[in-house]
Chain A
Amino acid sequence: MRPWIDRRTLIDEARQFVHRNGYFLRTHAKRISSLVEIAVYNSIVSYYEDSGYRLRAMNLGPKSSFKYKVSSTGHTKNFSYFRATDVESNATIDIFHNTKVQSAHHGHLYYTPDVAVCEIRGNVTKLLKSGRRHSYIVNAKLISFVEVKHLPPFPEALFSFTGLVLEFLPRFIDHTVIIDGRATHLSPMIVFTGVPSAHSENIRDVLMERYGINIVYGTQKTNGRITKYSELIKYRTS
């Protein structure tokens, strides 16, 4: 029998790897952790680029820096985002990160998904009674949203996601959208970084089938992307 893994060598090489890169990894630990969330945003933008959209970075900062919005606070106008235009149809969308979206049922209810895709200029800034400004994506222009959880998938989180879909894109719950593998826009998506139990796998299969939403489990990343794009559920917006 030919041996496969030489454990002694593997362990030695792992130690040497840490010896050579440990300081670098320690000093960039925080940045590496924040890249996990950003990788999902990156994946959605790359998905559109791969689907024939031309990208343009909007709201660039000083020296043309792309400023990521890493938290839910702050005005959208102070951060960068991607605008993507379909080279064939000229249809244009904006892809935001950590930006509020408006409820489909109430004009003053909002929630902040990790990624939101909307029609061009779907993001507005309004003045509140308090005099403060707030930015959000108008529900009528919302195309899709993505939620990222740094957890193993568990039933409560899976079922709760359908509540978000009901509030923000209810057409998926009442089955009035047309699921179409040849369409471009992605159905709402939740991504878990952890590995599921057998029960969570069943829940995913049933919810994806019933509502046409995307539930992505953790290590389906391929080359830094969240999953194979061809396996994601898409829908027709018109």
Chain B
Amino acid sequence: MADQLDIQSVVVALTDGIGSDLGRSVRASYYETLKRLVSHESFIRLDHASRQELVDILALSNFYNIVVAPLESGRSLLSLAQRAQATHVRIGRDKLTSTLANRFAACAGAFHGILAGQQIPAAVLSFPTLSVFIENVLQAKESATGETLD
């Protein structure tokens, strides 16, 4: 099933150049989840285009959850601490300042820009199970294209 699909291009484009620590985590998580996705009953029943879309969004999802979501939480962490009278946050020897948190937010914003350009709602990148993931992506496709999928 997976051999008919391009399972490499999106994940490689997202991870080639972000360093081995983050890149390895994203790819390991992606390929492990992909193994389950391609054998999922609901996935097998879909046409090739929808399966390719699910594979591409799975790569985006893994990148989002391992790289982008922590950046977003870094910013919210700082604002939480500042609301509680702290000026900045120290994580071990690292210092999380407003400047760095803003840089985190800018990076996360650039990623969301890619999603917006493709009409992919960020909400589909977060899911508790693969069944929910497939269902959410198909619904998002329906909204974006006005096409009803059987």
Kindly state whether residue B147 has any CB partner on chain A within 8 Å.
Answer: yes
B141 at interface, CB cutoff 8 A: yes
Nearest-CB distance from B16 to chain A (Å)? 7
Q: How far is the CB of A202 from chain B (nearest CB, A)?
A: 11
**Which B residues between 122 and 147 are near A, CB-CB below 8 angstroms?**
123, 125-130, 141, 144-147
- Chain A residues with Cβ under 8 A from B29's Cβ? 194
Question: Which segment of A139-147, A176-184, A220-228 sits at the interface?
Answer: A220-228
Given that A13-B114, A221-B126 are known contacts, is A18 also in contact with B18, CB under 8 Å in the complex?
yes
Q: Per a CB cutoff under 8 Å, which of B6, B77, B126 touches A220?
A: B126
Cβ contacts under 8 Å, B44 to chain A: none
| A24 engages B103 (CB within 8 Å) | yes
- C-alpha spacing A197/B40, complex, angstroms: 10
The complex places the Cα of A220 from the Cα of B124 at a distance, in Å, of 10
B13, chain A: closest CB distance, angstroms: 4
For A42, what are the chain B residues with a Cβ–Cβ distance below 8 Å? 73, 76-77, 80
Known A-B contacts A32-B71, A35-B74, A219-B61; A80 and B86 likewise in contact (beta carbons under 8 Å): yes
Pairwise interchain contact A11-B13, C-beta atoms closer than 8 A: yes
How many angstroms from the CA of A25 to the CA of B70 in the assembled complex?
12
CA separation between A15 and B103, bound complex, in Å? Answer: 19
Which one, B33, B107, B141, contacts A4 given CB within 8 A? B141
**Distance of A56 from chain B, by nearest CB (Å):** 6
Cβ contacts under 8 Å, A35 to chain B: 70-71, 73-74, 77, 91
Residue of A nearest to B142 (CB): A4
Inter-chain CA distance A197–B14, complex, in Å, is: 26
Would you call the interface of chain B mostly helix, strand, loop, or mixed?
A: helix
Measured between beta carbons, the chain B residues less than 8 angstroms from A11 are 9-10, 13
Query: What is the total number of residues of chain B having a CB less than 8 Å from a CB of chain A?
Result: 69
Whether A14 touches B89, Cβ cut-off 8 Å, given contacts A25-B19, A220-B126, A224-B69, is no
Whether a CB of chain A sits under 8 angstroms from the CB of B87 is yes
In the assembled complex, which residues on chain B have CB atoms less than 8 Å from the CB atom of A63? 87-88
* Residues of B bordering A, CB below 8 Å: 6, 9-10, 13-19, 21-22, 25, 29, 32-33, 36, 52-53, 56-57, 61, 65-67, 69-74, 76-77, 80-81, 83-92, 94-96, 103, 107, 110-111, 114, 117-120, 123, 125-130, 141, 144-147
**Known A26-B22, A29-B21; further 7 A-B contacts with Cβ < 8 A:** A17-B114, A18-B13, A18-B18, A25-B107, A32-B74, A36-B73, A224-B69
Closest 9 pairs between A and B when the two form their complex, measured CB to CB:
A26-B19, A39-B73, A224-B73, A35-B70, A14-B13, A66-B86, A22-B17, A57-B84, A55-B84
